[in-house]
Chain A
Amino acid sequence: MKLLVVEDNEELLDIIVLTMIKEKYQCEKAVNFIDADEKIHLYTYDILIIDINLPDGSGLDLIRHAKNNNPASGIIVISARNSLENKIEGLEIGADDYITKPFDVAELVARVKALLRRRNFLGSDIITYNEITVDTTKRRVTVNNTNIELTKSEFDILLFFFSNPGRVLTKETIAEHIWGDNMDLVDSFDFIYSHIKNIRRKIIEKGVKIPIKAVYGMGYKLEELFDEIN
């Protein structure tokens, strides 16, 4: 999987690129419009992560160029401007998803994976973990080949964990992931706790372990399978 990250803030760029490399993606970076434009014309990328606000040009133009060069590439827009027009324009000219700063790495990774699944780059829309299988298209979860019923939020949280095994997901990140930007409720943390409790219960009932652990009272982490084996 080949990615290009375009972001004018180098610190932020490095964090994103390192994360993507950790996710085993081949990742290149561009720190300004000219570099990015050149790379887009020279190479083919599966996913482009583009910051709209660049010092020497508009990310929106990059999207147009990228779509011209390779209509198959998936595009995720990063913007710090909450302005609605940018969002709408970005999506209209061919971006697939839109993420607003400040975001979490986990959220970005989940979006990239969701996009890859939608674009069928992964060849499958089914994720498995232990004996748990998540069909992302049909939104169905099977444990040991039996269906389990999850609510919408429970499903979203489970999928979020499956997209980010081994990574601490803070309560804020999870809340934002399921309820969007608008949910700044104090109580939302209690809801997350009950959701995770329910997910655990429903899966454990089927005799399968689901190692979602609380971390420092800040969030939760799904252990990587690799850890399990050890």
Chain B
Amino acid sequence: MKLIKKTYYLTSLWLLPVTIIGSIFCFLMIEHISYEETDEFLTYEMQRLVRYHEEHDDLPEFHKVADILPDIIYSEPAFKDTLLLEPGDNEMVPHRELYFTINHKGQPFTIVLRHLLLGRDDIAEGTLLIIVGLLLLMATCLILILNILTHKLWTPFYDTLKRISTYKIGGTPPTLKNCNIDEFNALNSTIKTLLTKIDGDYKRNKEFNENLSHELQTQLAIIRLTTEKILNQNINSLDSSTIESVKSIYSSVNKLHQVQKSLMLLSKIGNLEYNENVNINLKEVLEQVFEKYLEAFELREILVTLNLADCPLSIDLGLAQILANNLFKNALKHNVANGFVALTLNKKTFVIENSGLPFKGNPEQFFQRFTKGENGNYGIGLSIVKQICELYNYSISYSIADNSKHIITITFL
């Protein structure tokens, strides 16, 4: 939900109790004022009558006297509420009465003054009108104010958000503009600290990878070239045990190189060094990579079935190729003679099935690094595949059907 929408939503939610309490308050206030005013009016009338009576010993010509009751004495004036039938509307209407006693010619008389009160339904109606009117006005103003304020207040925030969301690891960290809001400045400086740390870590990691691979590979190159030199120079003078030693040195160097390369690749993927996402069609990548393996599949007499539909993805091209390479390699390497490989690709999933050796156990372990197979193979290829899938939030699973059919399924989310 957008910030502004959420603000509207929460504001309206809070306005609800405020409206209810406000309405009750408004109702009670109007009722109170109506009583006060009526009482005041009746009191003034009483005072006028008393004064007039004192001066003229009679009641004025125009008065509000509703009733005169002999024999009842009120030592203090008293207010009373009463309901009277209004003949016009034929309904009971609230009235306010004031009882007070005057002494007329030695005889006490209680005079009743009466005045119409505001009906509760009238008050409720008035309250409703006031509140609804007020609410409409407030809502209009709130929307306007919130819109203007959100835009104005949150601009630095949106600016920061835009800058950091376009930041790519390995690139120059964005400069975040300071503003006059302390919280945003604090946010910016925290982000700056984090980005500097991330950038530093990334660069150190990358440099470490590069240094390590440079130093290792240079030495590996020397060993490899020296072994070759021995092979070439002394071809007629080598005894069989020397040849065996040279062979084992040579094969170890090559294995070391493969392991080193794979580990470096894993480390680089983990360090997000492949982040040039482009729009590709996985179908095309698979077809290109497959061409390289076609001959190998043919030589091993493995039947390959391709069932590829277009599958647009946003992914680093290098990683897409590594993914395809490792999957083909896996399907080839762990296949059996006269076996098969079947690839099915559509927009949502990529399934690669191949015949292989029977396997009992949890096939998910093939995704772990350096799983020892029966013939001592390294299981790093699939762990690279898994790491690439994790990077792009693709789900990947390994299952075995009919004892020896190996199935890898990748689902693009």
A residues with CB within 8 A of B: 9, 11-12, 15-16, 53, 80-84, 100-106, 151-153, 167-168, 170, 172, 179-188, 190-191, 194, 215-219
Contact call A105/B228, Cβ cutoff below 8 A: yes
Contact call A215/B231, Cβ cutoff below 8 A: yes
Contact call A187/B226, Cβ cutoff below 8 A: no
Nearest residue, chain A, Cβ from B215: A80
With a cutoff of 8 Å between Cβ atoms, the chain B residues found around residue A182 in the complex are: 292, 325, 329
CA distance A94 to B151 in the complex (A): 51
Chain B: interface residue total (CB-CB under 8 A): 46
Determine whether B318 belongs to the interface, using a CB cutoff of 8 Å to chain A.
yes
Contact of A11 among B216, B222, B235 (CB under 8 A): B222
Contact call A104/B231, Cβ cutoff below 8 A: no
Contact call A82/B225, Cβ cutoff below 8 A: no
Chain-A contact segment, one of B67-75, B256-264, B303-311, B363-371: B256-264
Given contacts A102-B257, A218-B250, contact A151 B295 (CB under 8 A): yes
Nearest residue, chain A, Cβ from B214: A80
Determine whether B387 belongs to the interface, using a CB cutoff of 8 Å to chain A.
no
With a cutoff of 8 Å between Cβ atoms, the chain B residues found around residue A9 in the complex are: 218, 222
With a cutoff of 8 Å between Cβ atoms, the chain B residues found around residue A185 in the complex are: 296, 329, 332-333
Nearest residue, chain A, Cβ from B333: A185
Contact call B220/A102, Cβ cutoff below 8 A: yes
With a cutoff of 8 Å between Cβ atoms, the chain A residues found around residue B329 in the complex are: 182-185
Contact call A167/B250, Cβ cutoff below 8 A: no
Contact call B232/A102, Cβ cutoff below 8 A: no
Give the residue among B228, B265, B318 with the most A Cβ atoms within 10 A: B228
With a cutoff of 8 Å between Cβ atoms, the chain B residues found around residue A190 in the complex are: 299
Contact call B295/A15, Cβ cutoff below 8 A: no
CA distance A12 to B194 in the complex (A): 42
A-contact bits for B232-250, CB 8 A (1 contact / 0 none): 1001001000010011001
Contact call A104/B332, Cβ cutoff below 8 A: no
B residues with CB within 8 A of A: 210, 213-218, 220-226, 228-229, 231-232, 235, 238, 243, 246-247, 250, 253-254, 257-258, 261, 264-265, 268, 273-274, 292, 295-296, 299-300, 318, 325, 329, 332-333, 375, 377
CB distance from A64 to the nearest CB of B (A): 20
Contact call B210/A83, Cβ cutoff below 8 A: yes
With a cutoff of 8 Å between Cβ atoms, the chain B residues found around residue A181 in the complex are: 261
With a cutoff of 8 Å between Cβ atoms, the chain B residues found around residue A84 in the complex are: 274, 318
CA distance A183 to B293 in the complex (A): 9
CA distance A149 to B215 in the complex (A): 44
CB distance from A5 to the nearest CB of B (A): 13
Contact call B296/A217, Cβ cutoff below 8 A: no
Given contacts A102-B253, A191-B295, A194-B299, contact A12 B222 (CB under 8 A): yes
Given contacts A185-B333, A191-B295, A191-B296, contact A15 B217 (CB under 8 A): no
